[in-house]
C-alpha cells in the first residue's frame, strides 16, 4: 500500500548558489526509509515539508489518499495542512524537550492519553524515570523521551533527522533496536535522515540518496553499500548485521565503523556466530576470517 506520494518542488539556497529540491517519489506503508546524501542536499528540508513545518513552492503531497499540500507554480497553495493536522511525529537532533516538565509531562503535553504514555514508557525503558526532568537525563534517555513523545498521537509518519548521531556506539545500537521495535509494534512508516551506512543497513529497507535536491539513487542499503564494496586486507573489530546462505556457503555482513564488508564463513564458524555478535574480521594469507571478539586474550599480531 502506498503511504506517501510526494511530487514537490522547493527553491533552496546552497553554498554554490540556488538550486531546487525536487521529489517525485512514492513511499510504501510500514517501512523504514533512509534519506541520505551530502550536507546541504535537501534532506532536512524534505522532512520539514512532510511535517508541514516548511511549505514547498509547488506540487502535490498525498498521504494515505488524503491531500496534505497542493499548489500550482506561481500561485497560492490550494491546500496546505498545518503540522497539527497531519499526525506526523518528528524528532530532530536537539530533542526539544520541555525542561520544566517531567518525562511523563513531556509525553502528556503531546496527548493526554495516559494509557498510551504508560505503554510507551514501558517500551522505551523509562518507567522508573517518568517523574524526572530532562536536565537529569543522559543523552540516550532524552532521545528515548523524544521518540516516545513523537509517538503519543499515534502518527502516520515518524520523521527522524539524524537522531542518533551524537550518541556513543552502544547507546546508538540500543536505540536502533528501539526503533525496530517501534516499527513492528505500531506499524508506523519511518523516514530517517542518516549518514551512517551500518545504521541504514540495520534499520532500513530502502535508501533515497539526495544530491543537490535530486534523488540520484533509490535502492536498498545492500545494493548501495555492500554489493559495490571491494575486498581489502584488514583486522578490525565489528558487529555482525546478518548471516545468510548464498548458494553453498554462508556470508556474514559485518559493520566495521561506517563501512560494511561481506565475509564468507564456513558451516562450523556459522554455528558459533549470530547477528549482533561483536567479532574481529581479519585476513591471513588473503583468506578472510571471522572470530568472536575477546578483549582479554585476543592478539592482533597473530593475524
- Domain positions in the chain are 2-87+155-225, 231-302
**What pLDDT was estimated at residue 286?**
55
Region 231-302: CATH code: 2.40.50.140
**What pLDDT was estimated at residue 6?**
96
**What pLDDT was estimated at residue 302?**
35
**What pLDDT was estimated at residue 266?**
79
**What pLDDT was estimated at residue 163?**
81
- The answer to whether 77 and 70 are in contact (CB under 8 A) is yes
pTM of the predicted structure, to 2 decimals: 0.74
Q: Residues of the chain whose pLDDT is less than 50?
A: 229-233, 295-303
Note the CATH architecture for domain 2-87+155-225.
3-Layer(aba) Sandwich (3.40)
Same fold, 2-87+155-225 and 231-302: no
Amino acid at each position: 500500500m502506498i503511504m506517501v506520494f510526494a511530487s514537490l518542488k522547493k527553491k533552496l539556497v546552497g553554498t554554490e548558489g540556488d538550486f531546487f529540491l525536487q521529489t517525485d517519489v512514492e513511499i510504501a506503508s510500514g517501512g523504514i526509509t533512509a534519506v541520505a546524501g551530502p550536507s546541504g542536499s535537501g534532506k532536512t528540508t524534505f522532512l520539514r515539508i512532510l511535517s508541514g513545518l516548511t511549505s514547498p513552492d509547488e506540487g502535490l503531497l498525498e498521504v494515505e489518499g488524503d491531500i496534505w499540500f497542493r499548489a500550482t507554480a506561481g500561485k497560492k497553495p490550494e491546500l496546505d495542512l498545518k503540522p497539527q493536522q497531519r499526525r506526523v511525529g518528528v524528532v530532530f537532533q536537539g530533542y526539544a524537550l520541555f525542561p520544566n516538565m517531567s518525562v511523563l509531562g513531556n509525553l502528556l503535553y503531546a496527548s493526554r492519553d495516559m494509557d498510551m504514555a504508560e505503554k510507551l514508557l514501558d517500551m522505551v525503558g523509562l518507567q522508573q524515570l517518568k517523574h524526572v526532568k530532562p536536565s537529569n537525563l543522559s543523552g540516550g534517555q532524552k532521545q528515548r523521551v523524544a521518540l516516545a513523545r513523537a509517538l503519543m498521537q499515534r502518527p502516520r509518519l515518524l520523521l527522524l533527522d539524524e537522531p542518533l548521531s551524537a550518541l556513543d556506539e552502544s547507546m546508538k545500537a540500543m536505540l536502533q533496536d528501539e526503533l525496530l521495535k517501534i516499527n513492528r509494534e505500531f506499524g508506523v512508516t519511518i523516514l530517517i535522515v542518516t549518514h551512517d551506512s551500518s545504521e541504514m543497513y540495520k534499520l532500513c529497507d530502502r535508501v533515497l540518496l539526495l544530491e543537490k535536491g535530486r534523488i540520484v539513487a533509490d535502492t536498498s542499503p545492500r545494493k548501495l553499500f555492500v554489493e559495490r564494496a571491494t575486498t581489502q586486507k584488514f583486522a578490525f573489530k565489528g558487529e555482525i548485521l546478518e548471516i545468510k546462505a548464498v548458494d553453498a556457503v554462508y556470508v556474514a555482513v559485518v559493520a566495521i565503523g561506517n563501512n560494511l564488508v561481506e565475509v564468507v564463513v564456513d558451516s562450523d564458524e556459522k554455528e558459533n556466530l549470530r547477528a549482533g555478535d561483536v567479532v574481529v574480521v581479519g585476513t591471513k594469507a588473503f583468506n578472510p576470517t571471522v572470530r568472536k571478539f575477546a578483549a582479554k586474550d585476543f592478539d592482533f599480531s597473530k593475524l
